[in-house]
Each structure stands twice: as structure tokens, then as C-alpha cells.
Structure 1
């Protein structure tokens, strides 16, 4: 609701209250219940009570509408539900790696980046847009979670923009008092950047002095250039990012990475209720990301691995654990497809996703072993995939999983099933 509409409503309530008071006083005097001075006093009192009640009622309505608009446009966390309401928590080791599970404390290696983002939010005279870029698994989402936590402690409203609701999020932010941080994670993977362009345009043309927008993505190359080129020049100048935060893979001495791995292994052992594994990570892992290091630690804890092993071996253990969980979950749901089919189906879900159940079924029909499957059975498989993990907000099928690890699993699965790559290509073109 715009400020003009709210002012008009308040003026209407004031006039209504005055009229109510005047009528009440006139009726009291005309009926000879009280003298004229007393009638005037009664009228004024009645008008004041009516005005207060009306304004209080209208404020409750406005707050309720503002809250509804906010929750429809943004989510409390990256999976659309918040940190304590995720499907598969405690069942899936892979889901436990999601940054919003926060099994491992935030790394001090990214402390300077966190302070940089938080400081920008509180500064005046800076642009309203900031970028956080880096490869999958480098810690972008975790950084934004920590920034939102700190700002909330300072009284800010922070929300993760739902897909397709970017422009609505700006309008909802305008109804909230104080500072507002809107986070658009994985901005480079949005199917339609027109909504993001509308968001930036509205943020500049509206009167939002305490609105901040952070865009997270793996890169800000061609898509970002094209989006800005389509903006009005005045808007383009205003939304030029104040500064980027660039995250990279793990660097530094091998001993530092070993320490990070050992700490993560202790944390995942406690989370999974397992003994702390006595292991070390070997092999070329200088370019590994936080996500891969944590995945190796989780696998070591879950499997009780001992001795030295490399990153690929650790991930193989992790994927075997997850595949066993899929098989048990599918059996409980009455899904009887062979393991290879389940593995390919999960790959479709993580790589392609789908806008609805029917599109999921049509894409599954492209996979080896499912090309002649009745549509009803494909639909049941689609519904099973959707309940397997929490879904990112705004899409019917888009499992909330650590992208770096999910993509490594998809590559592993494609390498083991010769016909899968072409089937995935066909499925990607299936509307």
C-alpha cells in the first residue's frame, strides 16, 4: 500500500470520527438528555474514541497487509523455509552440507568479506547494490547468511527473494520501517532476468533510502552486462554496484586445509552422532572449495573412515551413503525402479529441475529405463523426487542442495551411464 493511500485512509477515518462525534452530541442535546455544553463534551469524547479505535484498527490492517506482502515476496532462508524447517534434515548427509544447516561455524578466512558487506549496508551515500561472486561451494551463501544474521541483530529486516518475485520484494520492503536487506542468491541462474531488472528499476525510482540489495552468483559476465544495457541510463548509473566481493577456492598451506578438514570432521561427527574419525586428507586439494572439504569431512564421519584418503574417495563414500538412503526412501514410498534409474532421476532433479509435476514426468521419460514407462508411474516418481529434499522457493522441483557437490554427483552418474548425457540434453529441451 502506498503512503498516499494510507494518508487517504487516515483522513477518511478522522472525518468519520468527527462526524460520529458531532452526530452523537446533536442527538444527545436534541433528546434533552443533557445540556448543550455537556452534549458538546460527549460528542468530542465519542469522536476521540472513534478516531483512536479507527486508527488502531487501520494500523493492524496495514501491518497485516505489509507482513503478507513481505512473506509472499521473500523467504527467511535460502531454501524458502528457514533454518529449522527443512525436509530430510537428519536423514540425508548431503542435505546436512547445505550452508544454512550451519554444522561448521563460519570460517574466519572470510571474516573480512563479511565485515565488508555489513559495513556497506550501514553506510550512507553508497549505491544500493552489492555483488558477491565466486565458484560453487566457495561460501557465497554462507557469507550472506552470516551478514543477514548480524544485520537482524541490529534491527534490519532481511529476506531471500523468491524466484519471480524480485519486483514485489522491493514493494514489500517499502512497507517496512528501518533498514531492509534483500538477497538474490544464484542471480546468474534465474530463468528470467526481466524481473531482476524491474527490481533494480523500482529500487532506484522509489524512495527507499535504507534498502540494500545483494546479488550472489558464480559470475557477473554476459548476463549482467545485458541486464544493465537494457536499463534506463539513469537507473543504470544508480545501480552500479558499490563494490564486489570475490570468493575463491581454498588457498594457503596444506596444513591449514588439514586443520579446516579436521575441525569439520569433528563438527559432522557430533551432528551425525558418530565417533570423531581419525583421518587425514591427501592428494591435490589446493583448489578445493569449502563445500568439498566439508563433504569429505561428513563422509569420513558417517563412514568412520580411518587413515589417509583423497577427496575423490571421500566423495565416492558420500555418494554411496546418499544412494543407499534414496533406495530406502523409495522403497518406503512404493517406488520400485532400479537403482540406476533412481540415480538418473535425482540427476535430472538437481541439474534441470522443473516448473511443475507434468514437466518433471516428461523429462523423466527421456531417461534410459523410463522411455516406455506409463505416465502415471512417471508422475509418482516425480512426486517422490519433490519430497526427497527441501525445494528452493519459487520452483516446483529444485532441490536445495550444495550445488558444487550435486554437480559432482551428476558428472559421476553421467560417466557411469553412457546414455545419460544425451538423455539429459533431450530432457533439458522438454517443455
Structure 2
């Protein structure tokens, strides 16, 4: 190059090439760091309350429970819950340096649906939102701190297990040291009285003051009085009729002298639309039809997806109940736990493996776990209670399964 340009120019070009190489190396390093940060974030959180295991709506066309999950949003969000929604959204967007908010309410009161709506609103306002995977609260907090903007972490069913609460302690320690306003967390559970004080007692006293909740949203079971439930039931039935591509049923909910939960009302409306019920619809009868219809779909789906299973209905009922109440962290653990259930104690390892794989693909899994069926909590609890009552040997089997690692 010195034969064509002067030495000063050659030196300048050489220096520029070195600077360009250094810039390229720095750019590549930063790109790798961002990729690692994104991987850490995605491994700790979900985009919604459950992870879908490869199944899509076409595979759930016969499932009424699937349509009742809050993330399906078949029925529009109730304006009666709007003040609760705004309290969370305004806290996230406002100047408050408080890092925590609590949402509490019984099963079927609409906690998850409320949080889904809050996340939807915040996502349009430059907030990055993540639903914390089960057992990943501490990792999620560390990943959130590295994100470029404001972050909201949602922990649903925070009181579901001691493991979830133990993991929360590490998350709070990380959160207490995060820059004020950067990361906010919503904790949702049925109650906080029995465990929240214990979690705080394990924290550094200085962190307790920093992490005092900004507020608490308490949801009641019902959205309407008994007099208004007929209108809400008929509106929900129209929505589910459209969802299932059915005619709008001419039906009315009867036999409810007290306000019923949102989950009960929507369940009755969904099965009314799906089965084309007409005239007076009794809540107890509607729920019975809902569970019977879902059981029929399970057997049909199992025959299509895993023909080798071919189990009688009582065994399938027990397996669904175990998947809902006990769950599993892996396929191998699920296979070992299924071995405790009536009708499966002497079954082959291969058959239990096929059953575990079928349960894994049947519904989405809550919190990204390997097996924890994502179903409306109130309805899942009610169904499990019915099956446990009907099968006397099942409670002991479930207890043994839960102790199997």
C-alpha cells in the first residue's frame, strides 16, 4: 500500500481497520450477551399462564374445559372488574417505587383472567411482561433486571405449593436490590395469611420495608347478584355458542338463589351452548353434563392420539385427577407416579409411558411444568372431589404418588 499512498494515509487506513475490527468484536460480544440474556429470560418466564405442548385448537374442538380456560377469553372481560384492572395498570405505569402487588380471591373468582387483561394492556405501553415458570422465581428476577426497559413479572397460584413459596424468597432478595421502578411483581393466590408472614420472616429486615406491597386486589366469587345472573348467563351462552359454532340456545339458568362464581356461571353457559340445552338449566345438572361431555372427549382423544392406552373410564378419571392434583416434573416421574393409581399398579412401564405422554399433550401445562394440567381451577377442584369420593382407594394412591420422586 505504501507504493500507492503516502505513509501518513497508509497509517490512517491501518488504524481505521484496527478500530473497525475492534468495533466488530465489541458488537459481536454485545450481540452474544443479548442472546444469552434473552435465553435466560425465556427459560424463566412464559408469555401466558401455561405452556402449550404442541397441541392447537383443532385438537381441542371437543373440549369444553379448554374453552373455559381464562386465556381463551371467549367471554369479554367484565366492566365490573375494570376498577381492579386499572388499579394494577396504574400502579405499574405510575411513579410508585413499590415493587409488589397482591391479588387474592377464591378459585373461580377471576384472578388469572384479571392478570391476563393487565398484561395485555401493559404490553401496549412498552412494558415487557412474563409469567414466571414454576420454580423459576429467583431466576426470573435476575433475568428481569437485565432487560432494557420496564418489566412486570406475574406469579400465578403463588400459594399452590411450598416449593413455589421457597423460591419466592430468593426472588424477593434480588428484587429488593433492583433499581426502583424497573421491575414490578404481581403475586396471585387464593390466600396470603398462612404463608406470607413466613416468607417475610426469612428475609433481611432491611428488605422487608422495601418490599412492602403497594396494594392488594381482593376479588369476590361472583360478579353479579342473583337477579342479574340471568342476563350474564345468556350473554356468556351467546359467546360460547359462537365459539363452538352452535345455534344460540334458548335457555335460562335456574335454581340459584344465591350469587354463584364466575367460573360456575361460565361453565353452565358453555355446556348449555355446546350441548344445545334449552329451557331451564339447573347449575348442578349443567356441571354434571360438562364433566360427562369432557370424559367422552378424553376417551375419543386417547383413541386417536394413543390407541395403545385403551383404559376404562375409571382409570382415566384417576389419571386426570392425579395429573391435576399431583402433577410431575418429568415424564419419568409421571410414569412412576401413575404406577400407584388403581388399575395401573400392575400395568407395564410402556403402557404407563404412553398414558403419561397422552396426559402431557391433552391440555397446556400450568407454569410450564411437564405435567400440571391447565384447567379452570374451580372446575378442576370440583371434578377431583367427585372422583376421589367415587373411588375409595384413590386418596391413598394420590398421597403415595405425591411422595414419589
**TM-score scaled by length of structure 2:** 0.93
Question: Displacement of 1:318 after TM fit?
Answer: 0.7
Question: Displacement of 1:50 after TM fit?
Answer: 3.0
Q: Deviations over 1:18-44 (max 9, x none)?
A: xxxxxxxxxx5xx55432331243234
The range that moved more, 47-56 or 394-403, is: 47-56
* Match in the other structure for 1:43: 14
* Match in the other structure for 2:88: 117
Query: Of residues 33, 37, 42 in structure 2, which corresponds to 1:62?
Result: 33
Q: Distance in 1 between matches of 2:300 and 2:60?
A: 16
The range that moved more, 79-88 or 98-107, is: 79-88
Question: Displacement of 1:420 after TM fit?
Answer: 2.5
Question: Displacement of 1:47 after TM fit?
Answer: 4.0
Q: Is the 8 A contact 1:83 1:100 kept in 2?
A: no
Query: Of residues 31, 44, 49 in structure 2, which corresponds to 1:78?
Result: 49
* Match in the other structure for 1:336: 310
- The structure-2 alpha-carbon separation of the partners of 1:86 and 1:210, relative to structure 1 and needing over 3 Å to count, comes to farther
Q: Distance in 1 between matches of 2:60 and 2:302?
A: 17
* Match in the other structure for 2:208: 236
Question: Aligned pair 1:302/2:274, yes or no?
Answer: yes
When the two chains are superposed, the root-mean-square deviation of aligned CA atoms in Å is 2.2
Secondary structure at 2:51 match in 1: coil
**Which has the greater radius of gyration?**
1
Question: Displacement of 1:277 after TM fit?
Answer: 1.0
Equivalent pairs, count:
402
Query: Of residues 181, 189, 205 in structure 1, which corresponds to 2:177?
Result: 205
Higher RCO by CA contacts (8 Å cutoff, separation 6 or greater) = 2
* Match in the other structure for 1:22: none
Secondary structure at 1:222 match in 2: coil
Q: Distance in 1 between matches of 2:80 and 2:12?
A: 69
Question: Displacement of 1:240 after TM fit?
Answer: 1.2
- The structure-2 alpha-carbon separation of the partners of 1:117 and 1:86, relative to structure 1 and needing over 3 Å to count, comes to farther
Secondary structure at 1:387 match in 2: helix
* Match in the other structure for 1:312: 284
Question: Aligned pair 1:149/2:123, yes or no?
Answer: no
Question: Displacement of 1:191 after TM fit?
Answer: 4.0
Question: Displacement of 1:166 after TM fit?
Answer: 1.2
- The structure-2 alpha-carbon separation of the partners of 1:252 and 1:271, relative to structure 1 and needing over 3 Å to count, comes to closer
Question: Displacement of 1:169 after TM fit?
Answer: 1.1
The range that moved more, 330-339 or 301-310, is: 330-339
Secondary structure at 1:187 match in 2: coil
Query: Of residues 110, 116, 129 in structure 2, which corresponds to 1:139?
Result: 110
